Amino acid sequence: MRIAFLGGGNMASALVGGLLAKGFDAGSISVIERLDAAREKLVVQYKVHASAEADAATRAADTLLLAVKPQDLRAALAPLADTARGKLVLSIAAGVRLADISRWLAGHRLLVRAMPNTPALIGAGIAALYAPREVGAADRARAEGILAAVGATVWVEEESLLDPVTALSASGPAYVFWFIEQLAASGAALGLPAETARKLALQTVLGAAQLAARSAEPASVLRERVTSKGGTTEAALRVFDEERLAERLHRALEAASRRGAELGELLGRD
């Protein structure tokens, strides 16, 4: 497999690093990156080929991975319709639909769309993938293998489900960071030194997530085991119920998913 990346930003860099860590040959990776500093960093850090525009290495690739900003994708694809012919095109550009990518690539159909998240930067991400029916098992496996270099993967059966995926897992790290902030701020408000509260909040979230990941029990059972009748945890959870936090979280994800669909419409307009 030979991969050409269109865009050399943080997520592309994470994928390149993850692939190399899995034993992929640096000589089989090329990157199209218009910024001089970013190109130089990729070459120095990973020893991969990088160019300002499509070149012989791009044409020799069998996979083209789209990793530019969604609003820049249409213009970036304009000169690549001929170059993309015969290649698997894997897009990680948030919100951009495959129908629009196909149109911008003169009807190209060998397409897979994926939605990774930022923990991929440390090899702890998760990506959801979608492919139309005409994309065969070998190409699906190739796309999944690339994303698996930086974390877990799941498949969805309909492209529209990538909007709730975006709301849950792509935006999800921001919700977790916000929760850590609030835990730490509340601890400080209760009298703990700020740094102590920050460390307690951070390690609590990290440890609870690891415990949930390693347990065969659902999160609801783990929660119940921490909640003693008449105890401190029950007192806090009662407030969560009274304030309808679960309902509010659901509404927040609905808003994020809805906005993802709206952005897809906007990005695909002529």
- Say what the pLDDT of residue 269 is: 85
Stretch 12-20: mean pLDDT: 96
Q: Give me the domains of the chain, ranges plus CATH numbers.
A: 3-159 (3.40.50.720), 172-261 (1.10.3730.10)
Please state the φ and ψ torsions of residue 222, each to the nearest 5 degrees. -60, -40
Instruction: Supply the pTM of this predicted model.
Output: 0.91
Residue-level pLDDT at 270: 72
Residue 3 confidence (pLDDT): 97
pLDDT in tens, 117-141: 999 999 999 999 999 999 999 999 9
State the Cα angle at 203 between 184 and 17, rounded to 5°: 115
The Cα 206–Cα 223 span in angstroms is: 15
pLDDT at residue 240, rounded to an integer:
96
Q: Measured at the alpha carbon of residue 129, what is the angle toward residues 126 and 130, in degrees to the nearest 5?
A: 165
**How far, in Å, CA of 240 to CA of 202, rounded?**
20
Q: In this predicted structure, what is the pLDDT of residue 212?
A: 97
pLDDT of residue 162: 97
136-180 pLDDT tens trace: 999 999 999 999 999 999 999 999 999 999 999 999 999 999 999
pLDDT at residue 250, rounded to an integer: 97
Q: Any idea how long the chain is?
A: 270
At 226-239, the pLDDT tens digits run 999 999 999 999 99
For 193-222, write each residue's pLDDT tens digit.
999 999 999 999 999 999 999 999 999 999
Residue 39: closest CA among 53, 26, 27, 50: 50
pLDDT digits over 27-77, tens only? 999 999 999 999 999 999 999 999 999 999 999 999 999 999 999 999 999
Strands (E), the chain: 3-6, 29-32, 49-51, 63-66, 88-91, 111-115, 125-130, 151-155
